[in-house]
Amino acid sequence: MRTYDVFVSFRGEDTRNNITSFLLGSLESKGIDVFKDNEDLRKGESIAPELLQAIEVSRIFVVVFSKNYASSTWCLRELTHICNCTQTSPGSVLPIFYDVDPSDVRKLSGSYEEAFAKYKERFREDREKMKEVQTWREALKEVGELGGWDIRDKSQNAEIEKIVQTIIKKLGSKFSSLPKDNLVGMESRVEELVKCLRLGSVNDVRVVGISGMSGIGKTELARALYERISDQFDVHCLVDDVSKIYQDSGRLGVQKQLLSQCLNEKNLEIYDVSQGTCLAWKRLQNAKALVVFDEVVNERQLQMFTGNRDSLLRECLGGGSRIIIISRDEHILRTHGVDDVYQVPLLDREEAVQLFCKNAFKDNFIMSGYAEFADVILSQAQGNPLAIKAVGSSLFGLNAPQWRSAVAKLREQKSRDIMDVLRISFDELDDTNKEIFLDIACFFNNFYVKSVMEILDFRGFYPEHGLQVLQDRSLIINEYGIIGMHGLLIDLGRCIVREKSPKEPSNWSRLWKYQDLYKIMSNNMAAEKLEAIAVDYESDDEGFHEIRVDALSKMSHLKLLKLWGVTSSGSLNHLSDELGYITWDKYPFVCLPKSFQPNKLVELCLEYSNIKHLWKDRKPLHNLRRLVLSHSKNLIELPDLGEALNLEWLDLKGCIKLKKINPSIGLLRKLAYLNLKDCTSLVELPHFKEDLNLQHLTLEGCTHLKHINPSVGLLRKLEYLILEDCKSLVSLPNSILCLNSLKYLSLYGCSGLYNSGLLKEPRDAELLKQLCIGEASTDSKSISSIVKRWFMWSPRLWYSRAHNDSVGCLLPSAPTIPPSMIQLDLSYCNLVQIPDAIGNLHCLEILNLEGNSFAALPDLKGLSKLRYLKLDHCKHLKDFPKLPARTDLSYTFLLPILGRAVELPVWGFSVPKAPNVELPRALGLSMFNCPELVEREGCSSMVLSWMIQIVQAHYQNNFAWWPIGMPGFSNPYICSVIPGSEIEGWFTTQHVSKDNLITIDPPPLMQHDKCIGVAYCVVFAAHSTDLEMVPPETERGYPVMGIVWIPVDVHEDVVTDKSDHLCLFYSPTYIGIGDWKLKVKIMDKKGFPVEVKKYGYRRVHEEDLDLEPSLNTAGIRKRKRGTDE
C-alpha cells in the first residue's frame, strides 16, 4: 500500500483556495508526498474508507483550524481518527489556526461552541451519536492544546515556509519518498551508515565509501540515505553512474552533473574543466553540501574532486559537508582518501524471506506448499538481494509443478540476469587476477589463505597483490585466515570456465566434477588446455564408475592434480613435468612414471597407495617441500632425497614394510616434521645432523625399534618426541632430556625403558609441558620414584594414564601439590580418594580422573579456570561434582596446533593430530559409564547451568572462541557427557531421531533470529551399534551433513553401564549452523557412529545469558536405577 509523508485536514470551503492550496504547493515543491483528497471523497454522512486508510499510512498530520471547521462532521471524524492513530506520537500533529483564535478551539467557544450546540440539539435522541460528539470534543481539546501556528494577521508566505521547514525536519529521521516494498533490510543499514557519516560533527568535511559485491544493494542504500538526510544540507546532489558519464563525456561531464544539481541549474553551460573548477570555488565555497558519487570504477573518474585531503571538494565545501563514494573496489575508495568504508552486508534470513515473498508472491508470507522450494532458492542466493529479486520475480504466478521444474533448472543453469551483473566485477579484473578468481571459484573456497597463496605463487599469479584486489572488490572474504567466496560468484567462475565449450570438458582449463573427469577419461581425450584437476568423489554422485587414467599421460600442461576417493585403473606412461601439486589417494601403480621429471614438484601426497618405490635414480627435487606416503603398505624403500634440500614435511605413517630410512633424510636441514608412526618393520633410524630444523618426530607404534640413534638427542629444535607403544625400545640417549626445546615427551607403553635409569633424575623441565608415562610392567617402585621426582620438580607436567597401584598410593600422601599445576592427568591410578589439595589448584584447566575407584570428589568450586573435567569409568562415583563458577577465561592451551612453524600439506588432506587428542581444546565435563550416577535427577540442569555460565563469560568478555580447523561443524566448543535420558525443557525444539541423525531446521519463516550460538542436548545409547555411516548428501539443495565427535568411546570393552547418556554441547553460530537446514551425525572419538535416540536444541540469544543458574547440588535427589536411596 502507498504511504504518505503528510496528511492535511481542513474545511474546504474555508481554506481550499487560500492557505491550504499554498501549503500543499509548497510541500510538493520540496518533494514531500502529500495525500490529496477530492470533493467526491467528502460527500455523504460517513467518512470514506480511502480517507481513513490515508490517515493510517501517513506520518505527519497538519490540521488547519478555520471558523467553520467544527461545523463539519467529516472534519471532526478525521480529527478523531488522527488522534487515535497518533496516541504514541502526538508530536506528529501540527495545528494551524487560520482565522480562529486557538482558545476557541481549546475551550469550544465562539463558532465552535455554536457548532456543538447544534450537534446537541440534532443528536439528543441518539445516545450513540452523543458518545461520538463527546469524542469530537476531546479531540479538539487535545489538538488545540498542542503548540502550533497562529497565522492571523501574519504573512502567510513566511508562516508557510516555517511550517514546511518544520515538516522537513520531522521527516528527516524517516524515509520519505521510497516505497516500503523497496526497503527490505534497508533501515538498519542506513542507521549504520549514518553513524559512519558522523553528522553531528559540523566542522569537518567527511568522505565515506560504500562497497560490497555486485547485486548487494549499494546504490539503493545510498539513495535511501540521500532521501533521508539531504534536507539537512544547504545543497545536495547524487551523481548517478559516474562510470558511464565519464566514459561518454569525460571529467567535464561528471563536473557538469555535480554543479548543475548543486546549483539547481539544469542548463548550466561549462566548456572546460578549469571553468567548472572556478565555478565550484565561487558558488560552493563554504556551503554545507551532501555529494554522492555512484558507480565509480577507477581512480581517474573523481581525481579532480577527491584525490587527497587537499582536493577540491574537501577544500571548497563548508564544515559539516559529506561526500559519499560508491564503488565495488575498496582500493579506489582508499585512493580517494575516504575516512571510513561501509561494507554492505548480505541479507539475513528474515530479510531474505521477506524480500523473496514480496517478489515471488507479492505478499508478506510464503504460500502453503511452496516452503521447500523457497528454502532451496534462498539457500542458493545466500542473502544476495539481486538474486532473490530476480529469481523471485521469475517465479511469480507459477504453480507448484512449474516451481519444481524452475528450481531444478536453476541448480544447473544460473539466471543470466544475475550472472550478467556479477560478470561486471570479473571483467574489470586484469588477466592474472581473473585466473586467481577462477582458481578460487573452482578449487579454493574455504581453504587457508596461506595454502592458497603458496599454490597461486607456484602458478605465477602474484597472490599477495591479487588476493588483496579480489578482497577490495568484494569478490572474496578473508575471515580467520580462510578464504571465502559467495556461492553465486563460485557459480559465475565455473560458468566462465565452461562458457566456450559447455559440453566439452576436454576444452576447459579446470576440472572439478567427477562426471566431467569420467567423460574425459573414458574417451581417452587429450585435454591439452587442462591445467588443474581437483575431484573429490562424493558417494551420492550418480553413475559412479572406475576411471581409467590413461588420458593423464596426454595432459602436458597439467599443473595441479587431486584425485581423492576416485577408484582408478589403466596405465600411466607419463605425468606432466609441469605438475607442482599432486594428491592421489589409493594411487594404483607401484611407482611413478619413469619419464616424470619432478623438478617443479612442491607437494606429493599418495596416501593409501599401492606404491613400492617412487623412482630409482636421484631426481632434481629442489622445489619439493612436502612428501606424504602414509599407509602405503607396500612401500619398501625411499629413494635418495638428497636433492630435496627444501623438504619440510615427511609423513610415512603406516608404511608397515619399511625397514630403514634412506640416510639422505638425516641430512635435510629444513626437515621439520617426520612421522614414522606404525612403521612396524622399522628397525633403524638414520643419523641426523645436529643443525636440522626437526621439530616433530613421531615413532609411535614402531614395535621393532630397540634403540634410538644418539643423534636424536642432539636435535636442538626438537619440540615433540612421541615414542608411545615402542614396546621393544630398551634405551634412549641420555642427551634427550637435555634438549631445551623439548615440550612433549611421550613414553606411554614403553615398558622396557623404566629400568633404564633415564627418568630417575629430572632435567630442568621448565619448557617441558607434558610427560606421558604409564603401563609399566616392571619395577613399580621405580616408576613411583620417577613420578614423585618429576611431579615435585616441574608443576607444569602432565602425567598420562599411569596404570600402577603404587602411583595411586603415592599421590594422596604427597605433602604438597604445586599450585601452578595447569593440567593433571591421574587416570587409571587406582585412586580411592582424591586429595583435598586438588581443590586449591587455582591454575588448573584440565583434570582427568578417568578410571579410578573413588566415591566422591573434593570441592572444586575454587577452580575458576577449570575448562575440562574427565570422570569417565569412575564406577564407584556417587556424588555429582560441585562445579566452579566460570569467571576466568585466560586459558593456557599448552599444545599449539601443529603447522604454525611447520607447513602442513596444502593441496592434500593429510593433517596431523596434536598429541593426546583425548583431552580436547573444547570445554566441558565427561561422566561416561558411571553407573552409580544413572538417572540422578538434576545432573543435566547442573551441567546446563555450567555451560550457560561459560557462554556468558565468553560473550560478556568478548572472548574469542578457539578456532578449530576449517569452518564447519566438527568439534563443538563446549561438550559434556553425563548419564541420563531426559532432555531439559530449556531446549525449546525436541525431536525423536530419524535415521540416527539430528535435523536442525532453519528459523521459522519471517522470524527475527539474531542468535549468538546453538545449544544441543542429545540422548544416545551407551553401547556398540552396527549402524553404517550415512554418507554426506544433499537434500533439496541443503548443505546437509555435518559431524560432531563426542569425547567417549562407546565401543570400549570396559563399558558396563549400558543405559542412555546425554551429550550437551554448544557451538557459536559462525562454526555451526547458520540460517539453513542441516543434518548432523554423532560419532564417538574413534569415528564410530553413535545411536541417537532423541535430541533437542535451542538457538541462544543474548537475553538467554541473563539467567543466573544455581550450581547448588545439595537438593539433587539421588537415584540408582530407578530406586530411591
pLDDT in tens, 690-720: 888 999 999 999 999 999 999 998 898 998 9
pLDDT score for 175: 41
Task: Name the 3-class secondary structure at 382.
Answer: coil
pTM above 0.85, yes or no: no
The closest of 574, 580, 527, 572 to 547, measured between CA atoms, is 572
Give the pLDDT band of residue 578 (cuts 50, 70, 90).
very high
CA distance 212 to 214: 7
The closest of 1000, 969, 1003 to 349, measured between CA atoms, is 1003
Class of residue 235 by CB neighbours under 10 A (exposed 0-12, middle 13-18, buried 19+): buried
Beta carbons within 10 angstroms of residue 2's beta carbon: 11
Is 189:221 a contact under the CB 8 Å cutoff?
yes
pLDDT score for 149: 92
pLDDT score for 1039: 39
Phi then psi dihedrals of residue 582, to 5 deg: -130, 120
Residue-averaged pLDDT of the chain: 80
Residue given cell 500533529 in the structure block? 93
The closest of 59, 50, 73 to 140, measured between CA atoms, is 73
CA distances from 753 to 707, 747, 772 (A): 11, 8, 13
CA distance 1076 to 379: 7
Which has the higher per-residue pLDDT, 576 or 410?
576
Q: Is the pLDDT of residue 368 over 70?
A: yes
Is-catalytic flag, 50? Answer: no
Phi then psi dihedrals of residue 323, to 5 deg: -120, 130
Class of residue 631 by CB neighbours under 10 A (exposed 0-12, middle 13-18, buried 19+): buried
pLDDT in tens, 223-234: 989 988 887 888
Contact residues for 627 (Cβ-Cβ < 8 A; gap 6+): 603, 604, 641, 644, 647, 649, 650, 651
CA distance 700 to 721: 9
Is 668:691 a contact under the CB 8 Å cutoff?
no
Is 816:837 a contact under the CB 8 Å cutoff?
yes
pLDDT score for 980: 85
pLDDT in tens, 845-878: 888 888 888 988 888 888 888 888 999 889 898 8
Lowest mean pLDDT among 107-111, 387-391, 609-613, 903-907: 903-907
The closest of 525, 523, 511, 422 to 475, measured between CA atoms, is 422
Q: Is the pLDDT of residue 382 over 60?
A: yes
Look at domain 4-171 and name its CATH class.
Answer: alpha beta
Task: Name the 3-class secondary structure at 119.
Answer: helix
CA distance 1096 to 1020: 12
Percent of the chain with pLDDT over 90: 31
Q: Is the pLDDT of residue 32 over 50?
A: yes
pLDDT in tens, 669-696: 999 999 999 999 999 999 999 888 999 9
Q: Is the pLDDT of residue 1054 over 80?
A: no
Q: Is the pLDDT of residue 961 over 80?
A: no
Across 85-97, average pLDDT: 85
Give the pLDDT band of residue 920 (cuts 50, 70, 90).
very low
pLDDT in tens, 106-115: 999 999 999 9
pLDDT in tens, 730-789: 888 877 867 878 888 888 778 777 555 555 455 544 555 566 655 444 444 444 444 444
Q: Is the pLDDT of residue 654 over 90?
A: yes
Q: Is the pLDDT of residue 1004 over 60?
A: no
The closest of 715, 627, 676, 691 to 907, measured between CA atoms, is 627
Give the pLDDT band of residue 86 (cuts 50, 70, 90).
confident
CA distance 98 to 1063: 74
Q: Is the pLDDT of residue 520 over 60?
A: yes
Q: Is the pLDDT of residue 359 over 80?
A: yes
pLDDT score for 643: 93
Task: Name the 3-class secondary structure at 246.
Answer: helix
Q: Is the pLDDT of residue 794 over 60?
A: no
CA distance 862 to 864: 6
Give the pLDDT band of residue 906 (cuts 50, 70, 90).
low
CA distance 577 to 594: 12
pLDDT in tens, 1056-1074: 667 888 898 887 764 334 4
Calculate the CA dihedral of residues 224, 230, 236, 238 and round it to 10 degrees.
Answer: 0
Q: Is the pLDDT of residue 987 over 50?
A: yes
Q: Is the pLDDT of residue 966 over 50?
A: no
List beta partners, residue 895. none
Candidate list 39, 50, 78, 1035, residue with the active-site label: 78
Q: In what order do the strands lie in the sheet with 235-239?
A: 235-239, 289-293, 322-326, 206-211, 340-343
Provide the grid cell at 258. Answer: 555535480
pLDDT score for 956: 64
Q: Is the pLDDT of residue 475 over 70?
A: yes
Assign a CATH topology to domain 419-495: Arc Repressor Mutant, subunit A (1.10.10)
- Got the DSSP string for 338-381? -SEEEEPPPP-HHHHHHHHHHHHTSSSSPPTT-HHHHHHHHHHH
In the chain, the amino acid numbered 675 is N
- CATH no., domain 180-343: 3.40.50.300
Beta carbons within 10 angstroms of residue 184's beta carbon: 23
Percent of the chain with pLDDT over 70: 78
Provide the grid cell at 538. Answer: 562424493
pLDDT score for 135: 94
- Got the DSSP string for 823-889? EEE-TTS--SS--GGGGG-TT--EEE-TT---S-----TT-TT--EEE-TT-TT--SPP-PPP----
Count of residues making up the chain: 1125
- Categorise residue 543: left if φ over 0, alpha if ψ from -120 to 50, beta otherwise: left
CA distance 245 to 231: 26
In this structure, is the dihedral angle defined by the CA atoms of residues 123, 129, 134 and 137, taken in order, positive or negative? negative
The closest of 579, 517, 564, 615 to 910, measured between CA atoms, is 564
Q: Is the pLDDT of residue 646 over 90?
A: yes
